[in-house]
Amino acid sequence: TLDFHPTGRHFLQIPGPSPVPDRILRAMSLPTIDHRGPEFGALGMRCLSGIQQIFQTRHPVVIYPASGTGAWEASLCNVMSPGDQVLMYETGHFASLWIKMATRLGLKPEVLTLPGLEGWRKGVQADLIEARLKADTQHAIRAVCVVHNETSTGVTSNIVAVRKAIDAARHPALLMVDSISGLASAEYKHDEWGVDVTVSGSQKGLMLPPGISFNALSPKAIEASRTAKLPKAFWAWDEIIEMNKTGYFPYTPNTNLLYGLAEACDMLLDPQHGGLPAVFARHQRWGEGVRAAVKAWGLEIQCADPAVYSPVLTGVMMPEGVDADAVRKLIYDRFDCSLGTGLGKVKGKMFRIGHLGDCNDLTLMGALSGCEMGLKLSGVKLAGSGVAAAMDYFAGHPSRMPLQK
């Protein structure tokens, strides 16, 4: 065995959970308080107001002490009835898991995607949604479900185009969006984009550990929840929204994660650091730098449509015959860097580099160095140095905003 004790920080470059800033870790280390006591209401109100600003909504945002999967279930069971038809677009592994969940809940999902691997390399094709909704003259389809940032592939779909497709078809279906990995890294406007339910989670752009998740609502979604018949108790929005009016919850909330959430909202929204526009620009720029590296290596990016490249993560496809998981393992063992595995039908064929959470140019350069060394050690033939290309990109494109501490 190697006498190997890693020093320095582990490079957590998976696309969530993302690295948590020290400032948030410190905020979470405060003593846990009485969740029915006088102090708690102020914390609850701070969180609820902050998270509304992050979703860019004036309507309620429900916070669950659960992972994103719980918030997925909540989104469906609040507005759907047994046997309801839902139109779900498969962009990748996470979209397919949401589809599986809909089936398990007793819904009838109809899946749209492009043939072969194409559907997992491109964004949601809004024209397919429009055509299907136009054909549904009886309005049997109750909801359209899409994933904003498909974490398994690195594709950020155009939600505005999906909204336009539903409107063009003059269809009353609810628009439900999973932005678990998009929120707070990629631009997202719940109200302006006309989304009815947005699902998100803590462990990605919000820079928090896993453990809380969200449903952002529209008045139309709240209205639908009043008559929807799927069983719901813990996930039911009504009691939570009622108690949230004073900053409290009908269950024991995740107090220390809420300390972290309040801090994360302060950091992300801080006008001195440019607020959300600066956050989105930061991740776009990191995405550009990482893609410059992948292109210089001569490897293919999983996302085949530059219009929908993800600012959150980049999927790197391996040449035929190279096991992506073996490359990942080598990089982990030798350089103490975690990369995202290929999921579902791309398992072993690609790996994912996260550029979300608490990172900066140099942490990304470190991660790319680990990748380049690992690829070379694995015998992958590289066209050139991705590290040099990314350095040129970062040096040549200064960030417009000061970094946040």
Burial 309-348 (b: 16+ CB within 10 A, else e): bbbbbbbbbbeeebebbebbebbbeebbbbbbbbbeebee
Min separation Cβ 383 and ligand PLP, Å: 30
Query: ∠ CA(187), CA(189), CA(195), 5° rounding?
Result: 130
Min separation Cβ 136 and ligand PLP, Å: 26
Min separation Cβ 151 and ligand PLP, Å: 3
Nearer to ligand PLP, 50 or 201 (CB): 201
Tell me which DSSP letter residue 309 carries: B
Nearer to ligand PLP, 280 or 297 (CB): 280
Nearer to ligand PLP, 53 or 69 (CB): 69
Query: ∠ CA(219), CA(221), CA(223), 5° rounding?
Result: 70
Nearer to ligand PLP, 97 or 169 (CB): 97
Min separation Cβ 180 and ligand PLP, Å: 4
The H or E element that residue 368 is part of is helix 361-377
Min separation Cβ 366 and ligand PLP, Å: 23
Nearest residue (beta carbon) to ligand PLP: 68
H helical segments located in 171-254: 219-227, 237-244
Nearer to ligand PLP, 12 or 292 (CB): 12
Nearer to ligand PLP, 66 or 224 (CB): 66
Report, in angstroms and rounded to the nearest whole number, the Rg of the chain calculated over CA atoms.
21
The SS3 call for residue 187 is coil
Min separation Cβ 10 and ligand PLP, Å: 19
Other CB atoms within 10 A of residue 241 CB: 17
Nearer to ligand PLP, 178 or 187 (CB): 178
The H or E element that residue 200 is part of is strand 197-201
Please provide the distance, in angstroms rounded to a whole number, between the alpha carbons at the two ends of the chain. Answer: 39
Min separation Cβ 360 and ligand PLP, Å: 23
Pairing of strands 197-201, 174-178: parallel
Nearer to ligand PLP, 169 or 207 (CB): 207
- State the Cα–Cα distance between residues 299 and 289, nearest whole angstrom: 15
Min separation Cβ 402 and ligand PLP, Å: 29
9 burial class (0-12, 13-18, 19+ CB within 10 angstroms)?
A: exposed
Nearer to ligand PLP, 68 or 370 (CB): 68
The SS3 call for residue 12 is strand
Pairing of strands 337-338, 141-147: unpaired
Min separation Cβ 277 and ligand PLP, Å: 23
Would you tell me which residues interact with ligand PLP (CB under 6 A)?
16, 67-69, 94, 147, 151, 178, 180-181, 201, 210
